[in-house]
Chain A
Amino acid sequence: ETGVTQSPTHLIKTRGQQVTLRCSSQSGHNTVSWYQQALGQGPQFIFQYYREEENGRGNFPPRFSGLQFPNYSSELNVNALELDDSALYLCASSPGGLAGGPLGNEQFFGPGTRLTVL
């Protein structure tokens, strides 16, 4: 069983640019969530996709957007990059199910993409 994979591993951008991060979910998982982890902090929820639709969003501005594809892989797009966007971006997949439950609530994380904005 292949776990959650993310690409690229590291990325350096300059302020004002746009970036796309990619995530492949674990086999059999239809729900993908994205998190931002600033240095020395816990991950913060950005948004979640369930069956290609946004299913919930955290306190992030609209320049953070996403997509989920029919194979349940996902992209995170960030426009107009700011210095504070420098962070580790984590993708997590889960078996899904609207009401959660023991399996639905467990999320499996990828290794992350380290984004540096200069």
Chain B
Amino acid sequence: GDSVTQMEGPVTLSEEAFLTINCTYTATGYPSLFWYVQYPGEGLQLLLKATKADDKGSNKGFEATYRKETTSFHLEKGSVQVSDSAVYFCALSGAGGYQKVTFGTGTKLQVIP
């Protein structure tokens, strides 16, 4: 079945540091890929998405590129802020008959001033 593997946290960075959170996936066909963010005490918010190979999703300075050859969708940001502190989930939605989203276990990011 479908699965998502993302790097374990927590990740602690200083403000303005470069962020990479690795994510790889296993799926049949051509899934859509997502990054969701969850702030403390809140539900999930879609951060960015990519629906086909070589697509780059971007939002709020975050980027991720759909790499089919390496089955990866790594999240990057050039300069993190304290307000980026949250849990980040990599996820995929298969191209099958129903739209189940499969999530990774999440990576907690803490940005310190």
With A33-B100, A48-B99, A100-B96 as known contacts, state yes or no: A42 contacts B32, CB within 8 Å: no
With A111-B42, A111-B43 as known contacts, state yes or no: A42 contacts B104, CB within 8 Å: yes
A100 surroundings in chain B (CB, below 8 A):
32, 93-96, 99
Which size class do B's interface residues fall under? 20 to 34
Check A109–B43 contact: CB distance below 8 A. yes
Which residue of chain A is the closest to B38 with respect to CB atoms? A37
Bound complex: CA A55 to CA B97 (Å): 8
Which residue of chain B is the closest to A48 with respect to CB atoms? B98
What is the 8 Å Cβ interface bit string for chain A, positions 71-95, against chain B (1 contact, 0 not)? Answer: 0000000000000000010101010
Check A41–B105 contact: CB distance below 8 A. yes
Give how many A residues have a beta carbon under 8 Å from the other chain's beta carbons: 32
- Which B positions have Cβ atoms within 8 angstroms of A? 4, 31-32, 34, 36, 42-46, 49, 51, 89, 91, 93-106
A40 surroundings in chain B (CB, below 8 A):
106
A14 surroundings in chain B (CB, below 8 A):
none
Least Cβ–Cβ distance between A24 and chain B, in angstroms: 14
In the complex, 14 of the A-B residue pairs with CB atoms within 8 angstroms, ordered by the A residue number, are: A33-B100, A42-B105, A43-B103, A56-B97, A90-B44, A98-B97, A98-B98, A99-B97, A100-B99, A104-B99, A105-B31, A107-B101, A109-B43, A109-B44
Check A106–B44 contact: CB distance below 8 A. no
B51 surroundings in chain A (CB, below 8 A):
102, 105
Check A42–B95 contact: CB distance below 8 A. no
Of B32, B36, B42, the contact of A105 (CB 8 Å cutoff)? B32
Least Cβ–Cβ distance between A1 and chain B, in angstroms: 15
Bound complex: CA A108 to CA B31 (Å): 17
